[in-house]
Chains A and B, each alone.
Chain A
Amino acid sequence: MSERRLRIAIAALALAGLGVAGYLTWVHYADLDPVCVGGGGGCERVQASDYAELGGVPVALLGVIGYAAILASLVVPGDAGRFAGALLALVGFGFSAWLTYAELFEIDAICQWCVASAVIMTALALLTSLRVVAPRPAGSGHPRS
């Protein structure tokens, strides 16, 4: 996959993730119940659990920050931007894995929005990692002085 296509795919996924995390952040602060397809109260139970916050900060808000930072990393030129994007997405992937474990084995409830975010973050981790190791496009390096 070319650098351009990777950047477009990463941007699209990060925007989708921003939408999901933004919605969950909104319902958190508006004190609403998230719309959960099929009902069952899974989203409410996850949102009301100890795992919904990390250090007092809503996990959904951390997601918004993470997706926005991944998006911002795309405009940072060179390896620094690629490294930052991969680091952010891998951190997000790690948290998503932990939260999915908590949903399955601690909270005993599944939030479809969280699953959607976990899938998006997993794809982002793969694509941003691929972007780090992929061959650079011609002329993308720093010019020698």
Chain B
Amino acid sequence: MNRRLGLLLGAAALAAVIVVVAIVVSQGGADDDGGSAPPPRVERLQQDGVFLGDPNAPATLIEFADLQCPFCADYANDQLPQVIDDYVRPGRLRLELRLLAFLGPDSVKGREWANAAALQDQLWGFSERFFANQGPENSGYATDAFLEDLARDTPGLNVSQLQGDIGSPQATALDRQAERLANQLGVEGTPSFYLARGGGTPEPIDIADLGQALGGG
């Protein structure tokens, strides 16, 4: 065989091996993470406590969610990225996440960590990772190790500070605010969505009607 052609075939074979091994290794790592849906980069949007997006946006979408609720995870993983791209990133909508914890102990534990993350303006990044890695309801999966992994995976979150804030008056105040607001609005399940325009009274909305409510697009 021509020596030069042999060299080229050797390079091609070696390249194929390198690419395949790297892809297999990296895909294995992705599976270990358990997150199949790529989360939107909420870190690139303005976060303030329970809010995501431009404070001057003409409307605010309030979501009531339980971190263990599978429908909430479906929304977070499948629909939220589009809502962010279409309405939040252009400054047309601000999001507000109010966490309830009625499904069980894993909900309570998850909310403690999430609301402590909110004190660092990282509620959205943390809760997105929780939803992407949500386990079977009330199986006890929301352990300190599980939650710490999520926190470490959330860019910009100081994990030791978060652990110190769990159960703090500021963090538990967010629990009470969410429950009070849910009672005022008559929330009956999760996820529940309410749209508030220009600081007006939040009105219940079917998330499928969001585009129409915001004037198309």
Distance to closest chain A CB from B32 (angstroms): 11
Q: State which of B35-43, B95-103, B111-119, B166-174 sits at the interface with chain A.
A: B35-43
Q: How far is the CA of A95 from the CA of B19 in the complex (A)?
A: 6
Which residues 36-64 of B sit at the A interface, judged by CB distance below 8 A?
Answer: 38-41, 43-44
Known: A90-B11, A132-B11. A45 touches B81 (CB 8 A): yes
**In the complex, are the beta carbons of A50 and B14 less than 8 A apart?**
no
In the bound complex, residues from chain B placing their C-beta under 8 Å from that of A41 are 85, 89
In the bound complex, residues from chain B placing their C-beta under 8 Å from that of A47 are 41
Taken residue by residue from 98 to 110, chain B's Cβ proximity to chain A (1 for < 8 Å, 0 otherwise) reads as 0000000000000
Q: B22 contacts the other chain (Cβ, under 8 Å)?
A: yes
Number of interface residues, chain A, beta carbon within 8 A: 29
Q: State which of B2-10, B183-191, B192-200 sits at the interface with chain A.
A: B2-10
In the bound complex, residues from chain A placing their C-beta under 8 Å from that of B12 are 86, 90, 129
In the bound complex, residues from chain B placing their C-beta under 8 Å from that of A55 are 22, 25-26, 29
Q: How far is the CA of A55 from the CA of B18 in the complex (A)?
A: 14
Q: How far is the CA of A134 from the CA of B40 in the complex (A)?
A: 47
Q: B214 contacts the other chain (Cβ, under 8 Å)?
A: no
Distance to closest chain B CB from A4 (angstroms): 18
| Binding site secondary structure of chain A | helix
Q: A79 contacts the other chain (Cβ, under 8 Å)?
A: yes
**In the complex, are the beta carbons of A132 and B4 less than 8 A apart?**
yes
**In the complex, are the beta carbons of B7 and A31 less than 8 A apart?**
no
Taken residue by residue from 61 to 103, chain B's Cβ proximity to chain A (1 for < 8 Å, 0 otherwise) reads as 0000000000000000000010001000100000000000000
Q: B181 contacts the other chain (Cβ, under 8 Å)?
A: no
Please give me the residue from chain B that is nearest to A87 by CB atom: B11
Please give me the residue from chain B that is nearest to A46 by CB atom: B38
Q: How far is the CA of A86 from the CA of B14 in the complex (A)?
A: 11
| Binding site secondary structure of chain B | helix
**In the complex, are the beta carbons of B39 and A48 less than 8 A apart?**
yes
Q: B23 contacts the other chain (Cβ, under 8 Å)?
A: yes
**In the complex, are the beta carbons of B11 and A83 less than 8 A apart?**
yes
Q: A133 contacts the other chain (Cβ, under 8 Å)?
A: yes
Please give me the residue from chain B that is nearest to A106 by CB atom: B38
Taken residue by residue from 27 to 71, chain A's Cβ proximity to chain B (1 for < 8 Å, 0 otherwise) reads as 000011100000001001101111100110000000000000000
Number of interface residues, chain B, beta carbon within 8 A: 30
**In the complex, are the beta carbons of A50 and B35 less than 8 A apart?**
yes
Distance to closest chain B CB from A125 (angstroms): 9
Q: B213 contacts the other chain (Cβ, under 8 Å)?
A: no
**In the complex, are the beta carbons of A50 and B7 less than 8 A apart?**
no
**In the complex, are the beta carbons of B14 and A87 less than 8 A apart?**
yes
The answer, among A33, A50, A83, for a CB contact under 8 Å with B38, is A50
**In the complex, are the beta carbons of B22 and A95 less than 8 A apart?**
yes
**In the complex, are the beta carbons of A91 and B15 less than 8 A apart?**
yes
In the bound complex, residues from chain B placing their C-beta under 8 Å from that of A83 are 7, 10-11
Closest 4 CB pairs of A and B: A94-B19, A90-B15, A49-B38, A48-B41
Q: List 20 A-B contacts (CB under 8 A).
A: A31-B44, A44-B85, A44-B89, A45-B85, A47-B41, A48-B39, A50-B33, A55-B29, A83-B7, A86-B7, A86-B11, A91-B19, A95-B19, A98-B19, A107-B38, A129-B11, A133-B2, A133-B4, A133-B5, A133-B8
Interface residues of B (CB under 8 A from A): 2, 4-5, 7-8, 10-12, 14-16, 18-19, 22-23, 25-26, 29-30, 33, 35, 38-41, 43-44, 81, 85, 89
